[in-house]
Structure 1
């Protein structure tokens, strides 16, 4: 999306491209520097099973060609003049400039050393050495639909299929799905309770404004070796350091800025009356913890 935005904002400078031409599409040139930039961006997203460089290079070339074709058609249809799109472009431009500034402030930031990576690995066994996978069947309902009669029914039920039949009979809207959680996805206390609970016992997990009526169908070990985990941990630690730099810089700039709220947006306060904290800029962390709470059903305390 960001590369598309940069292409759109540079559409008036198409004739100013420099560098060796590697392809032409309807007269528009794709240059070697553009291809190298695409490869560099793709390299940030690749995992440990990334394709060889030649295959990646060919994929990047085809992606540039596809994007140029779509861009030409979008410009022909004057999509770039849509006011809503112009706002999106400006937002992404701002994010790109801010990210570049934060990276410049980080200077020659050292890569995490082996000792730091090993320490993180040892401190989080639930994510790596003792990682487990929980296979869970779920019925997803809106939070207000989790009534006392439904809870009582789950307490006496022996299977999730019986709960699904009760929901259909009482015309409670629901979605059924199968989901896999790893112990890295869940808060440690939830993972521990699931292990104690065992298979086929019913329980409830809250996920925001939804209730997940669940049954654990399978529990298996899925350890990650130190060598396999090292690149993931390194990316996470680098991201964490970048977030710390962002927070420090924002704090410094706010302390010297003359800030005046002419009209404070109503949605700047959450439902509990607390200020909404902005997420510091940075790449997505490799380990994402879901905001899930677990409550007892069928004898689970």
Structure 2
């Protein structure tokens, strides 16, 4: 069973976004000398021109780099912690140097700083909205609903022997009819490298995921029956059906990440619909009608040249 929920890549972890923006913002904040721990239990692990570097600063950077997950511990005595501390110090020094050179006064840089601030604030409101909505009860409720709605089907467990020719397959079928071991013959004769060394075991599967030739042969087969040979891609197959059972639903733990993505998407979508409904949003994008056969500009290509306004003659040649 697979959950019928939308695929959605939720916004990146808030801490990762904060870390990504911190280089730009550090120039504005680098002279703050507050000795108040920003988080409970925080301790100073370094100072840069008297400004403290806290344990939480280092952990935030480690999360941004993917060294640890959000909320996971990072031993201050470990090499990754020491290395990340050095990187935070280097970033502080570079940011301070950028401020000394007044790079943060450039209008283009100020726009980037403003965009970083917007991203941080946007993630804050998303985080606050989603945190209350994605509860264990909400996850279990959606899981039970999807289990109830899923279409019941049947799983088959089978083994196969794959050989190159029909004649060889017929010879193996006769050996099986006279008492030969399917598992032993699969290991000895089968060409399927993926299954031959485990006795041809295909595991449990539903017939709808199999090639048409397998689906047609297996649908009417009963447990314990050996069918074939029949032609398949790559040769001829003999298949032994070992078991048939109702398809087992996906477990809650296996479905949990997908459910969380869906609930996150659902909450963010509702929030954005509400905000768009309350705001006056105008867009001024030009659309070009599709012309059959017209080459399309690559998504990563340079922007198309803008049409010059009517009447503009400056810089033109006669």
Q: TM-score, normalised by structure 2?
A: 0.40
Bigger Cα Rg: 2
Q: TM-score, normalised by structure 1?
A: 0.42
